Amino acid sequence: MLVALCAPGTVHAQATTERVVVNRFTGLAISGFDPVAYFTEAAAARGFERFEAVQDGAVWRFRNEGNRAAFLGHPEVYAPQFGGYDPVDVGRGKAVEGLPQLWTVYGRRLYLFASTTSKAAFAADPDGFAASAGRRWPKLKQELSQ
């Protein structure tokens, strides 16, 4: 029997064979962080189990009922772009999970990054990376769903 011990607050490995980055053990999208809080609190904040919703085959957690309702009303606004995969890597045709703690809101959309290097690259040319990732995402998304 294999037992994994993790420190409290540790972000667990995410699945990278899905259209949305989901923890394969818990089913949580973006490790249980509230996607709306990035906009309302300008912070990466964990959601609570009592405020959950299922969307796109993933369990999303929220800090309060208002955030949950906002997300369910407009998931295309609040969910991370490119399913939570790093837009710099998506632009290169690779699906690399973004980390909820490495984020930015640009053009009223949420982006998650795999590394500080990737986040800095995006910051230097957000329009270019967003456009490149946007062009490659449909094909990559299709490959992830197979």
pLDDT tens figures, 54-91: 987 899 999 999 999 999 999 999 999 999 999 999 99
DSSP codes, the chain: -------TTPPPPEESSSSS-EETTT-BBGGGB-TTHHHHTSS--B-EEEEEEEETTEEEEESSHHHHHHHHH-HHHHSPGGGGB-HHHHHTT---BPEEEEEEEETTEEEEESSHHHHHHHHHSHHHHHHHHHHHHHHHHHHHT-
Question: How does residue 42 score in pLDDT terms, banded at 50, 70 and 90?
Answer: very high
Lowest mean pLDDT among 6-15, 42-51, 84-93: 6-15
Q: What is the mean pLDDT of the chain?
A: 88
The percentage of the chain sitting over the pLDDT mark of 70, rounded to a whole number, equals 87
pLDDT at 46 over 60: yes
pTM of the entire structure?
Answer: 0.86
Query: Which sequence spans correspond to the domains of the chain?
Result: 14-144
pLDDT at 146 over 90: no
Mean pLDDT of 9-16: 40
pLDDT at 14 over 90: no
pLDDT recorded at residue 20: 83
The percentage of the chain sitting over the pLDDT mark of 90, rounded to a whole number, equals 76
